[in-house]
Chains A and B, each alone.
Chain A
Amino acid sequence: MPRWPLVFPLLLTVVTAQPAVQPQERDLLSRVRRLTVEGRRAGEGYWSPDGQRIVFQSEREPGNPFYQIYALDFSSGETTRISPGYGKTTCSFFRPGTDQILFASTHHDPRSRTFQQEELDFRASGKERRYSWDYDPEFEIYAYSEKGKSYTRLTNARGYDAEGSYSPDGQWIAFSSMRDAYNRALSPAEQKQLDVDPSFFAEIYIMRADGTGQRRLTNVNGYDGGPFFSPDGTRIVWRRFDESGLIANVWTMKLDGTDQRQVTDFGSMSWAPYIHPSGQYLLFASNKLGFENFEVFMVDVAGLKEPVRVTYADGFDGLPVPSPDGRRLAWTSTRGGGSAGQLYLADWNHEAALKILKAAPERKK
């Protein structure tokens, strides 16, 4: 290069090794690579059971400012859209032993394209709003058959139904729903709450993979969401927000909703938990270190020890999902710059993780 455009040549005199991320991160994560490049944002990547693919949400097609669902194939490098391409979608998951992928979508809503245009117009206007997740009550859970190329709707309740994931045997789906805000008469205070923040009403539900046998598992005010099964299929891990919507913690429970146990207690927003395939620890994200600085942490599944920090980068690092063989980690990060996340992948040092967790101090009470 002839010169850096600004003052750099004058300043560039002596450099030692460049720390692109803080070195602590290398204890657990190596060969960090960026998986998604195309489009405005991408995230929430979940592995296929054979570890050969990742299904994720991304905004990357002109005309739709909302997430659609895509599957990336590691052997071919190809990315294919799974969702219909219109409406809003989120939270996908491979169904073990089948050709199915579930996700939540609003595409049945006849106003879908109108909403898309409205959002595009809003953006074009140059106005800005703080990021907030859109709890569109039209969100329903769908299963997509890759062979049949058909969508089967699994939920029908008014209110956001999303955040679904399959049990390891592929027979059950745990999900989060705000139907409680719509299927009964609300008190005036509740109605007000619904107008301000519908996620207050979100609870964890379970159903069979065909959508039958829907059953509620939690019954506490505040957003219960993001449920995933433990690798042995005996428990569900999820995050529970307090009524203020600012503090969240990771919990686990049995599939019938009993034996609810709190795993984390940072007094900050600790969420997006996922249990490592070894069953020994779980990974989650928390903004313990700064309201807008989310980092990935890990903790033993019982939460007896103090959680240990995993990522060391500015901005957002969250939604960690280990590969089925437990040797890689996919997560969503803004480390590439800007405020919109992209999907990242790294090799995961499981042995080091066990060692570090073993050495971690008892959790402060």
Chain B
Amino acid sequence: MKKLLLVSLLVTAAALQAQTTVAPKTKAHVEFLASDRLEGREAGTPSERIAGDYIAAQLARAGAKPLPGHADMFVPFEFTAGSRDGGTRMNGSREGIQALSFSDDAEVSGAVVFAGYGLVVPESQNFGYDSYATLDVKDKIVLVLRYFPEDADQQARAVLARYADLRYKAQAARQRGAKALLVVTGPRSPNAGTLVPMTFDTAIAGSGIPAASITGEVANTLFASSPKPLRDIQQELDSGNPHVAGFELPGVTVNLATSVVRVKQTGRNVIAYLPATTPVAGVEKPWVVIGAHYDHLGRGDKGNSLASKEEVGGIHHGADDNASGTSAVLAMAQSLSTQPRRRNVVLALWSAEEIGLVGSNAFVTAPPVPIDQLAAYFNFDMVGRMQDNKLIVQATGTSPVWTRLLERANVAAGFDLVIQPDPYQPTDVASFNLASVPSLAFTTGAHVDYHKPSDTADKINYEDLDRIVDMAVSLARATEDTDPPPQFTKVDQPTSRGSLAGVRVTTGTIPDYATEVKGLLLSGVTGGGPAEQAGLMKGDVIVEIAGQSIANIYDYTYALELLKVDQPVKVIYMRAGQQRETQLTPGARR
């Protein structure tokens, strides 16, 4: 017994020691920021302020100071937190009408011209589809169908889908002199007759034209005196035949008064810096910025939540997105503050990233230090869920020095780096790239809990998060000391990407972002979704869908535009080196 006891004592001692040596630098920060008390850190809310106060206190503890000329670390900015209808009326009635979120506020009257789907395909596409070809809509009110022709062949749909975004349709109407745009969801389309939701839109101002959606019933009253009902008219248009023309609705004039209330709020970036430890006189571009956004989705009621039915309205904890990146920056501050540096290091925690990179945009638009004095920007967004040792580094194309510095730093760090030169990423690095600052963005990629209440602190991989911090510190130090500073290279924006406008189906596939393969590698499938029902599973690589070959994620997006709800398509995929085939029946996107 004694011997056994001794062994167990030793084990306990070893375990204790292990615990003290590996206590993560990042864990306490993540646990606080992702706690229920912080209520999802939505920009402009009291919980964002609590998070900001915590961050400022931690930065101060690390020895960071407010920027020169600033009394504290808070740099406020105003943003549009959302929009709602402010009482839009047609002919005095609020029934069956609602402004589109990008609408101007105005009151107009005029005859109504029905312009089909309101689609204009630019001539450069050599396609020949212009809903306005035979119409004069100057000073008229234009009524169009939502989406694009339902029965057009796949090739035509592929083109038309790209120009079906309502903002694009509004622009087309405005350019032709229309007074206003009305939109109806046609009786033959999904969501038939329903109003277009006022999507969360952070635009500060309107799009230069009053725009509203009307219900099917209201549309029917407008078509009351026309020779055919809307359903028949839509059916003709749905063939995709470009020669089916619109027409002025006989004897119909309306008075339209649109009103959109844009809710203005104030967010706070938390910005501090570690002054250089030697005089910066003579140092070219004496600033390095390290940043992460600290805001998240609150309770997810602004349209960007992916919560399941059961979770709707719950606190979106945002442990990975982006308490992880915030904690990484705080831990870096702690580490960098103890070491000599030739450049000033700015530590910037952005707010309002989730609604469109607003905080970082505010910084580059009104930079508190001259933007051309920034040697580099490092971004950390979703760095807490590392798997298989894979660390994705984006925006490496912004400077020729990055690959060399990364290679060197990674010899000690030992990550399976995935290098993505593209800086046009959906995170704050995009703001700095557009300001011509050499930048890098670190992420461990998306996962099952992305934008859901279940993105919680207990799921964070703290050990690897700390490894990312260590590597980032060594990269930051190398950059602090680099002379001359990294040179900026402009990366061309990819043009051939699909857009969401035309995608109305869901396939229930979850792409793997970290691994590049020929085809679309699935990191999972939605439970009960079309992909799962089709027998697809994680690890499968989709190489063809509906006759479209899939070489990458963009091909896939493009192909999705062509799918129709409830219409089965053939999917060819690779599993364990074998080519297989299945039928997938897309479902309707909410």
User: A-side interface residues toward B, CB under 8 Å?
Assistant: 1-22, 31-39, 72-74, 77-79, 289-290, 293, 314-315, 335-338, 344-345
Per-position 1/0 for B547-568, Cβ under 8 A of A: 0000001100100100000000
> Would you call A38 and B403 a contact (CB within 8 A)?
yes
A-B pairs, top 10 by smallest CB distance, nearest first, are: A337-B516, A15-B448, A15-B524, A77-B411, A37-B407, A13-B526, A38-B403, A18-B523, A20-B388, A77-B408
Query: What's the Cα separation between A40 and B588 when bound, in Å?
Result: 43
B513: chain A residues at CB < 8 Å are 4
> Would you call A14 and B526 a contact (CB within 8 A)?
yes
| Contacting residue for B306 out of A12, A31, A34, A36, CB 8 A | A12
Query: What's the Cα separation between A37 and B420 when bound, in Å?
Result: 11
> Would you call A15 and B354 a contact (CB within 8 A)?
no
Assess whether B356 is interfacial by the CB under 8 Å rule. yes
11 more A-B contacts (CB under 8 A) besides A20-B390, A37-B404?
Answer: A5-B426, A5-B497, A10-B589, A12-B451, A13-B448, A13-B529, A16-B448, A18-B387, A20-B514, A37-B407, A337-B516
| Contacting residue for A22 out of B322, B450, B576, CB 8 A | B576
Nearest CB of B to A58, in Å:
10
Per-position 1/0 for B561-588, Cβ under 8 A of A: 0000000000000001100000000000
B354: chain A residues at CB < 8 Å are 2
| Contacting residue for B411 out of A16, A35, A289, A338, CB 8 A | A35
> Would you call A21 and B388 a contact (CB within 8 A)?
yes
> Would you call A338 and B516 a contact (CB within 8 A)?
yes
Assess whether B204 is interfacial by the CB under 8 Å rule. no
| Contacting residue for B500 out of A6, A14, A38, CB 8 A | A6
Assess whether B8 is interfacial by the CB under 8 Å rule. no
> Would you call A33 and B389 a contact (CB within 8 A)?
yes
Nearest CB of A to B84, in Å:
21
| Contacting residue for B418 out of A2, A18, A337, CB 8 A | A337
| Contacting residue for A11 out of B509, B514, B518, B541, CB 8 A | B509
Assess whether B539 is interfacial by the CB under 8 Å rule. yes
Nearest CB of B to A114, in Å:
25
A74: chain B residues at CB < 8 Å are 411
A14: chain B residues at CB < 8 Å are 448, 510, 524-527, 529
Chain B CB within 10 Å, residue with most, of A8, A74, A338: A8
A6-B553, A21-B388 in contact; A15/B447 too (CB < 8 A)? Answer: yes
Assess whether B375 is interfacial by the CB under 8 Å rule. no
> Would you call B510 and A32 a contact (CB within 8 A)?
no
Nearest CB of A to B23, in Å:
22
Listed A/B pairs (8) with beta-carbon separation below 8 Å = A3-B426, A6-B500, A20-B514, A32-B388, A32-B389, A38-B403, A314-B517, A345-B414
Query: What's the Cα separation between A19 and B575 when bound, in Å?
Result: 12
Assess whether B507 is interfacial by the CB under 8 Å rule. yes
A22-B539, A78-B408 in contact; A8/B511 too (CB < 8 A)? Answer: yes
Nearest CB of A to B280, in Å:
27
> Would you call B448 and A336 a contact (CB within 8 A)?
no
> Would you call A1 and B382 a contact (CB within 8 A)?
yes
> Would you call B403 and A1 a contact (CB within 8 A)?
no
Nearest CB of B to A76, in Å:
8
B510: chain A residues at CB < 8 Å are 8, 11-15
Nearest CB of B to A78, in Å:
7
Per-position 1/0 for B416-433, Cβ under 8 A of A: 111100001111000000
> Would you call B304 and A9 a contact (CB within 8 A)?
yes
Q: Which residue of B lies closest to A32 (CB)?
A: B416
Q: Which residue of A lies closest to B451 (CB)?
A: A9
Assess whether B105 is interfacial by the CB under 8 Å rule. no
Assess whether B201 is interfacial by the CB under 8 Å rule. no
A33: chain B residues at CB < 8 Å are 389, 410, 414-417
> Would you call B418 and A11 a contact (CB within 8 A)?
no
Assess whether B321 is interfacial by the CB under 8 Å rule. yes
A7-B503, A337-B418 in contact; A2/B446 too (CB < 8 A)? Answer: no
A18-B447, A20-B512, A21-B388 in contact; A2/B506 too (CB < 8 A)? Answer: no
A7-B560, A18-B523, A37-B403 in contact; A77/B508 too (CB < 8 A)? Answer: no
Per-position 1/0 for B205-237, Cβ under 8 A of A: 000000000000000000000000000000000
Assess whether B515 is interfacial by the CB under 8 Å rule. yes
Q: Which residue of B lies closest to A37 (CB)?
A: B407
Query: What's the Cα separation between A338 and B516 when bound, in Å?
Result: 8
A18: chain B residues at CB < 8 Å are 387-388, 445, 447, 512, 514, 523-524, 538
Query: What's the Cα separation between A72 and B409 when bound, in Å?
Result: 12
Query: What's the Cα separation between A110 and B382 when bound, in Å?
Result: 52
Query: What's the Cα separation between A9 and B446 when bound, in Å?
Result: 10
Nearest CB of B to A316, in Å:
12
Query: What's the Cα separation between A13 and B390 when bound, in Å?
Result: 21
Assess whether B71 is interfacial by the CB under 8 Å rule. no
A19-B523, A20-B514, A22-B539 in contact; A37/B410 too (CB < 8 A)? Answer: yes
Per-position 1/0 for B395-416, Cβ under 8 A of A: 0000000011011111110111
Q: Which residue of A lies closest to B393 (CB)?
A: A37
> Would you call B403 and A2 a contact (CB within 8 A)?
no
Q: Which residue of B lies closest to A38 (CB)?
A: B403
> Would you call B306 and A13 a contact (CB within 8 A)?
yes
Query: What's the Cα separation between A37 and B447 when bound, in Å?
Result: 25
A20: chain B residues at CB < 8 Å are 387-388, 390, 416, 512, 514-515
Query: What's the Cα separation between A15 and B509 when bound, in Å?
Result: 9
Nearest CB of B to A270, in Å:
17
Nearest CB of B to A236, in Å:
32
A1-B443, A72-B411, A77-B409 in contact; A38/B404 too (CB < 8 A)? Answer: yes
Query: What's the Cα separation between A4 and B443 when bound, in Å?
Result: 13
Assess whether B104 is interfacial by the CB under 8 Å rule. no
Query: What's the Cα separation between A304 and B462 when bound, in Å?
Result: 46
Assess whether B308 is interfacial by the CB under 8 Å rule. yes
> Would you call B410 and A7 a contact (CB within 8 A)?
no
Q: Which residue of B lies closest to A343 (CB)?
A: B407
Query: What's the Cα separation between A293 and B518 when bound, in Å?
Result: 12
Nearest CB of B to A363, in Å:
21
Assess whether B357 is interfacial by the CB under 8 Å rule. yes
Query: What's the Cα separation between A13 and B305 when bound, in Å?
Result: 10
Q: Which residue of A lies closest to B400 (CB)?
A: A62
Query: What's the Cα separation between A74 and B539 when bound, in Å?
Result: 33
Assess whether B353 is interfacial by the CB under 8 Å rule. yes
B321: chain A residues at CB < 8 Å are 1
B507: chain A residues at CB < 8 Å are 11
A16: chain B residues at CB < 8 Å are 448, 524, 538
> Would you call A6 and B554 a contact (CB within 8 A)?
yes
Nearest CB of A to B162, in Å:
13
> Would you call A19 and B389 a contact (CB within 8 A)?
no
> Would you call A7 and B538 a contact (CB within 8 A)?
no
Nearest CB of B to A81, in Å:
12
Which residues of B in the span 433-447 have a Cβ within 8 Å of any Cβ on A?
A: 443, 445-447
Nearest CB of A to B529, in Å:
7
| Contacting residue for B450 out of A12, A73, A293, A338, CB 8 A | A12
